[in-house]
Structures are given as structure tokens and as C-alpha cells.
Structure 1
Amino acid sequence: MENKATAPSPAMTANRKKTGRRPLKELWRRVRKPLAKSRFVKQALATLMAGAIRLIDRTNPRVKGSHDLQAAIDAHSPAIAALWHGQHILGPAINPRKHKIVALFSRSADAELNALVAEKLGFETVRGSGGRKGERDIRKGGAKALIMLKRTIDRGCNVAMIADIPHGTPREAGLGIVTLARISGRPIVPVAIATSRRKVLERTWDKTTINLPFGRSAVILGEPIYVTPDADETVMEEKRREVTKALNEATRQAYSLVDGQ
């Protein structure tokens, strides 16, 4: 029988368990950053993610009432496709092969992996910010990206752009996409994609939605939104709100279709 004086207390037992876990945690912390910076690891992850996106798209047939993206692009090309953060994961999978699409990604480290995935699915990519308060307040990276996208549109290519600002107010368009429409003369086309099987990450700032395979899907396109070259700050703000409203309505319709409502 064990002597009570020498028996380990619950606190000591808990400390031993924690100590046993520490080497693994420390090891993970040491290897995590180098792995995250490894080009090889990023490419491998991007390949796996691109394959998963293709699988999800192919196993989610479009429901009746879903819009024809190819026809819309034929009618409005070159155009600026607008999507929301957290609702864009299947965006690269609906890349119409007939038209070249260039996608804008932020300059953050997190967006680098997303850009690699898009490239593996046939997109060209441009890195930069979407802009928060208009041309005068766009950072150098964002301004450079807008110039590059404008030149891309001038070559006849379509552009895909996330309308809301990274880690800003979700599902509220920024002025960056409106500025691009103004300087290019091309329309913004709201695009929403939804699947019946999905997982919403409630704790993320944008309520990121992970689309799952073996369900049904819908693609909804809003009416094209044009911005005149002489648009002043008041008009730009009106157009920003119009993009927000149209994209939210397209998103609502897409989920209504796949959920059978």
C-alpha cells in the first residue's frame, strides 16, 4: 500500500503531464515558422488545396436557377468580378477557360498561399491591397496593384477581386474596387458561390465558409455596375454602397437556392 506522505498530489501529476507535453509544443513552435516560410511546403500545400477545390466543385452540381458565368463574361468582358472574403474559396474553380482572369490578392503572408492555389487553377495573380478610403489613402502596394490591374484590363483580361477590406468590416465593399471600375471604364460584376454542404468558421472575422463535397452548388451574378470616369467622392461612395448591396443580395440568393428556400 502506497504511503500517503509519498503519494503524488493531483497538482504534481498535472505538472508532470504538462511537462511531458512541453517538448512537443516547443518542437512544433520551432519548426512551424521555417515550414511556413518554405517555398516547397507552400507549393505542396497549394497543390493539395487546388486538388481539393476541384473535387468540391465537381461533386457539387449546379442547381436550377444558377447563373451562367461564361455567358456573363462573354457579355461584359473585360469585367471586374467582385466576391466577398470568406465566400470566395470556390472562386478559382469556376475559372472560365475561354477568358483569361487575373486575381488580386493582398500582400499578407496568409494571402500568398491563396495566390499559389489560384495560380494552380489557371489564374494569373497580382499582389496588393484593395484600398480603404480611396485613391489618396491607398497604400503604395495597393496603388501599384490598381495600376497593374488597369493595364491588365486594357489588355482585354478580366479581373477577380475581393470587394471587402482584409480584417475590416466583413461584407462591406471598399473603395479600391470602385476606383478600379472608374479608371478602367469596365463594370463590376457581383459574384456569389454557395454549396449546400459547408462549414462556417464562426470565430473568424469574415465567417469563412469551407465548402464541402457531395452536395449542390449555385453561382449567382448581380447586374453590372459601372462607374463614370468623372465620379466625385459622393458618387464613389454611392457606388461603393451599391456594390455592397448587390453582392450581399447575390450571396443571399445563392444560399437560398442551395438550401432549397
Structure 2
Amino acid sequence: MNKWLPQLVFWMVKLLKVTCRIRAINDQRPALRAAGQPYIYATLHAQQLAVVVYGEPGTGAIVSRSKDGDLIARSLEKTGVVPIRGSSGTRKGGATALRAMVNHVASGKPVCVMVDGPKGPRGTVNPGVAMLSQKTGAPVIPLLMVPNRRKVFASTWDRTQIPFPFSTIVGAFGDPMFPVEGESVKQFTARIQDKLAELECEHDPDEAAVTEQSVEPTSAPARAA
């Protein structure tokens, strides 16, 4: 089965690309591209398949150096995503992955970070995405992918979502979030987490209700109702 998994994932993504309709909301990437500004996607681990379906060729994504990671990397390569290897579950591996992502962004190509991966809690943003933005100056684009027809695996920690063929996938974008001078990594991370939570409340309220039960509160100001 492992031998055929990358090909299976490729054909699944191909089927969804051909049959699914994408509806983008607040997509400001054309202006960033026109200005020659690379960017960093911040999205939820549960939505990784929909993100791959919607992703731009050449987008980088971090993949662990485990045996499972080898399979995932081969699968991603077949779909046009660039696997960035380096994380092995150690601080040294994480630093290697961060350097690789910095280099990828510096080359002018986007990077996608599943901000609550690899183990959660769901909706709790890890600081790596804020660090990457601060090191490169590239803005973070919060992105939520919501299929109108999908399978949600409620028993998984992230509530993995699989879009159904012929569904409409809403790509809800937050405004580009640039690093602010004097802002700490923790403060920037809190801003990103709050924006993703806001997008989920607006566009996927049922899943947002689940996230609120597990997410760690931030020190950022409370959002308006």
C-alpha cells in the first residue's frame, strides 16, 4: 500500500481540482505578487488536503523526516508542492526546517504552515509561523478552507477534513499580517491565532465551536462580537 500511496494522493487531489469549485473571499495575493512580495500561508492542520487542492505550484510545506514523512513528501511532490524537510521532532531539526523555509521564502515563493500541527491542540498556533515572518519580512496570510460538502473525522485530534468531489470550497483570506517593529514572537503569534479564530467563527461556526473548547487563550485584546 505504501508504494502506491503517493500516486493515490495525487489522483485524489487531481479529482478534487477538476471537480471542486473554489470561491475566494478577500484574496489580496494579486497585489502582493505585483509588488514582488512573497507571503506565508497560516492555516489549520485539519484543512491540509483542501489547501493542497487550492495551492499554488511551488508552495513550500514542512514535512518531517520520519518514514511517514517520506511518503507524504513523495505525495506532495506529485501535486506540485515543494516538501521542506528538516523537522525530526528535535529543536535542532526544527531550526533546520526554519532555515529551509526562510530560504524558500527568500527565493520569492510562498510557504504554507499548518500552524497547529503536528500534534495540536487544534487551533493553537505554534510560534514558528511568526518567527518565519519576522526573519523574512514576508506577511502572514491567514487562510481558512471550508468545503460545503466534506467528511470530518471527529476522532482525530485536528478533526481532519476531506472535501467531497463536486463540492464548493470557500477560501476565506485574512488581510496580510506584517511583523511589527518591537512586537514579540508571542504577541505576533497571538495576533495570528486570533485572526484564524475570527475567520473560523465567521465561515465555519460549527468547527469553531469545537476549537474554542481546546484552544489556549491569547493575551491579545478580545475580538468584538
Distance in structure 2 (CA, Å) of the matches to 1:69 and 1:58: 24
Highest RCO, 1 vs 2 (Cα 8 Å, sep ≥ 6): 2
Q: Which structure's residues are more often strand, by fraction?
A: 2
Higher helix share: 1
Provide the secondary structure at the position in 1 that maps to 2:159: coil
TM-score normalised over the length of structure 2: 0.80
Residues paired across the two proteins, number: 204
Partner of 2:70: 112
2:30 to 50, 60, 71: 71
Distance 1:91 1:154 in 2: 22
Matched, 1:210 2:210: no
Shift of 1:195: 0.8
Q: Percent identity?
A: 28
Question: 1:26-175 counterparts in 2 under 5 A?
Answer: 36=2, 41=3, 44-63=4-23, 66-68=25-27, 71=30, 74=33, 77-97=37-57, 100-129=58-87, 139-175=91-127
Q: Tell me, what secondary structure is at the counterpart of 1:202?
A: coil
Equivalent residue, structure 2, for 1:246: 195
CA 1:204 to 1:242, structure 2 compared with 1: closer, same or farther past 3 Å? same
Structure 2: 5+ residue stretches without partners: 206-225
Q: CA deviation at 1:72?
A: 5.8
**Distance of 2:143 and 2:70 partners within structure 1:** 22
The whole-number CA distance in structure 1 between the counterparts of 2:88 and 2:168 is 31
Q: Which letter maps to 1:198?
A: R
Q: Aligned partner of 2:41: which letter?
A: A
Unaligned runs of 5+ in 1: 1-34, 132-137, 257-261
1:221 aligns with 2:179: no
Contact 1:183 1:229 (8 Å CA) reproduced = no
The CA RMSD over aligned residues, in Å, is 2.5
Sort the Cα spacing of 1:67 and 1:229 in 2 relative to 1 into closer, same or farther, 3 A. Answer: closer
Does the Cα contact within 8 Å between 2:122 and 2:157 map onto a contact in 1? yes
Structure 1 residues 170 and 199, CA gap change in structure 2 (3 angstroms): same
Question: For 1:96, what is the secondary structure of its paired residue?
Answer: coil
